[in-house]
Structure 1
Amino acid sequence: MEPKRSRSDLMPGFGVTSERSSHPLEKVGRFRIEGELVVIYLEGVGSFLVKKVQVVSVVLGLCDEIIRDRVEGEVGVMSLSDSGRGLRKGILGEQYVGLVQRVKRVLEGKEGKWAVFGVTE
């Protein structure tokens, strides 16, 4: 019977290295539920509103919804990512995302807020 060989025996000179690249997402704010509204707080930018029922529609993949500022002006759009795992927000020409899994937990009352990440290129 032949002795068992390790991976390093099978691939001489092969080494595994890992490089850490900069993450394309940066935490820039948070979401909270206030009554029947979801409020998006963005550091240095302001706060924006979406009705809770509208966020549910987006999470379910039914439609995209308008994001408004505090005086009801349209400032962007909320949509579901192609994978269905992220909640995208285009606000004032910038792109932001949050995890759908966390959004659901907040909508269910299991958590109080969730993070908003800015998409950096």
Structure 2
Amino acid sequence: MSRSLEKVGRFRMEGEMIVIYLDGIGSFQVGKSQVISFLLRLGEEVIRDRDGGAVGMMSLSGSGRGVKMMIKERLYVAPVRRVKRVLEGKEKKGAVFGVK
């Protein structure tokens, strides 16, 4: 089964937060330290809106190459490599893709 991906937003570091911008939906955030712990396979992380309310979960894909973000009942993905490069400050931002 093949799924198609469509670029629907981006993410970037803002202070100690990773902020996820989804076109037409809004922005969401996850703490930098939480993202690092989940990249080390220490579990899933909660994605929050700007007011701090939980809106979804972030987890690793089965292959470990993708970051899965379930936000408001929709699945989004970003490449783990790009997330790490943004965390390390080597890149300013990365793409977020919607899964169809």
Q: Name the TM-score, length of structure 1 as normaliser.
A: 0.79
Equivalent residue, structure 1, for 2:62: 82
Identity %: 64
Report Cα offsets for 1:12-43 as digits up to 9, x if no partner.
xxxxxxxxxx9600000000100000000000
Alignment partner, residue 114 of structure 1: 94
Letter in 2 for 1:36: E
Which structure would you say has the larger Rg?
1
Cα displacement string for residues 34-54 of structure 1 (whole angstroms, at most 9, x for unaligned residues)? 000000000000000100011
Which residue number corresponds to residue 51 of structure 1? 31
2:48 counterpart residue number: 68
Q: Is the 2:3–2:99 Cα contact (8 Å) retained in structure 1?
A: no
| Aligned counterparts of 1:70 and 1:82: Cα–Cα separation in 2 | 29
Which deviates more, 41-50 or 23-32?
23-32
Deviation at 1:80, TM superposition (A): 0.5
Matched, 1:36 2:16: yes
CA distance in structure 2 between the aligned counterparts of 1:64 and 1:23, rounded to whole angstroms: 23
**Distance in 2 between the 1:23 and 1:64 partners?**
23
Q: How far did residue 119 of structure 1 move? A: 0.3
Which ranges of structure 1 fall in alignment gaps of 5 or more residues?
A: 1-21
Secondary structure of the residue aligned to 1:106 is: helix
Counterpart check, 1:103 vs 2:77: no
Q: Distance in 1 between matches of 2:53 and 2:97?
A: 23
Query: What is the one-letter code of the residue matched to 2:95?
Result: A
Tell me by how many angstroms 1:57 deviates.
Answer: 1.2
Alignment size in residue pairs:
99
Distance 1:32 1:102 in 2: 10
